[in-house]
Amino acid sequence: MGLFDKLIFKQVKRRELVLQQEGPGVEALARKIKLRPFITISRESGSGGTPIAKLVAKKLRFKFYNKKLIDMIAKQTKKRKVLIESLDEKDRGMVEDIVQSFFNPDYVAGETYFKHLCRVTMTLAKRGNCVILGRGANFITSDYGGLHVRIVAPFLVRAGYTAQYEGYTIYEARERMQKFDKERKDFIKEYFGKDPSNANYYDLVINTEGLKPEAAAEVILTAFKKKFPDWQKYR
């Protein structure tokens, strides 16, 4: 069981207690909030996930959350943004957390970051009308009724994209992608106990080999509007 499952178990127990105390009206409100439309996009490094997510948000006139999440978490934890970025989508061991906490008063433990990440992400999902990129958002919001998308491409294709658009040599691009892919996979495994490459965790998986960002965005928009035919009434 990952840390997220443990947090959710506690949250479910609290929710059950609230519903018992407040009655059926609260439960009806919870169901209404649960249906608010939003999109999460998970991506392999170099697959084009970021430009695709931005295009989708722009076309729907939704808010786009990527690095903005870091600002929000930094504000909640009252820590400098650079400290939160050092944790973002990376796994860090318990031993390092313990050692660093003794010597660095500004240190943010991985579990603290994760709790705030969950809190911020759930709040955004409840509000709806947003696109959330990465950070295990599809796992955090799996009970909130959004559209969950995964962007992938063959490794060499992704290396080519990275070299072409970010100015790296093909060898540098491959090393960079391997590093980022491992960090993201380890992050998801540590905190959610899941494998992000498992297609069963998504409503839609798009392979961007030979598919431009604009075309991929249109596929997502079509799926979104099919899943949420009344999405505009929530604006």
In this predicted model, what pLDDT tens digit does every residue of 22-63 receive, in sequence order? 455 444 444 544 557 999 999 999 999 999 999 999 999 999
The highest-confidence range among 24-33, 141-150, 189-198, 213-222, by mean pLDDT, is 213-222
Q: How many CB atoms lie within 10 A of CB 25?
A: 9
Give the CATH number of the domain where residue 47 resides: 3.40.50.300
Give residues with Cβ within 8 angstroms of 27, minimum separation 6: 19
pLDDT of 151 > 50? The answer is: yes
Q: Is the residue at 124 inside a domain?
A: yes
Which residue type, as a one-letter code, is found at position 119?
R
Summary mean pLDDT of the chain = 77
Q: Is the residue at 235 inside a domain?
A: no
Number of structural domains (the chain) is: 1
CA angle 204, 206, 211 (to 5 degrees): 150
Q: In the prediction, which pLDDT does 112 show?
A: 72
Q: In the prediction, which pLDDT does 166 show?
A: 85
pLDDT of 79 > 90? The answer is: no
Mean pLDDT, residues 204-209: 97
193: left (phi over 0), alpha (psi -120 to 50) or beta: left
Q: In the prediction, which pLDDT does 87 show?
A: 44
Could you read off the pLDDT of 99-146 as tens digits, one per residue?
A: 344 334 443 456 777 887 888 888 889 889 999 998 899 999 988 889
Q: In the prediction, which pLDDT does 202 show?
A: 96
Percent of all residues in the chain with a pLDDT value above 90, rounded to a whole number: 45
Q: Is the residue at 102 inside a domain?
A: yes
Q: Which domain holds residue 224?
A: 37-230
**What values do phi and psi take at 152, rounded to 5?**
-135, 170
Q: How many CB atoms lie within 10 A of CB 186?
A: 14
With CA atoms as reference, report the closest residue to 38 among 19, 11, 18, 65: 65
pLDDT of 8 > 80? The answer is: no
Q: In the prediction, which pLDDT does 10 show?
A: 47
At 227, the pLDDT band (50, 70, 90 cuts) reads very high
Task: Report in angstroms the alpha-carbon separations of 41 from 9, 24, 151.
Answer: 25, 33, 7
With CA atoms as reference, report the closest residue to 130 among 231, 32, 18: 231
Give CA–CA dist 50/151, Å, rounded: 10
At 159, the pLDDT band (50, 70, 90 cuts) reads very high
Mean pLDDT, residues 150-154: 97
With CA atoms as reference, report the closest residue to 234 among 72, 107, 62: 62
Rg (CA), the chain: 19
Strand partners, 95: none
Mean pLDDT, residues 56-84: 70
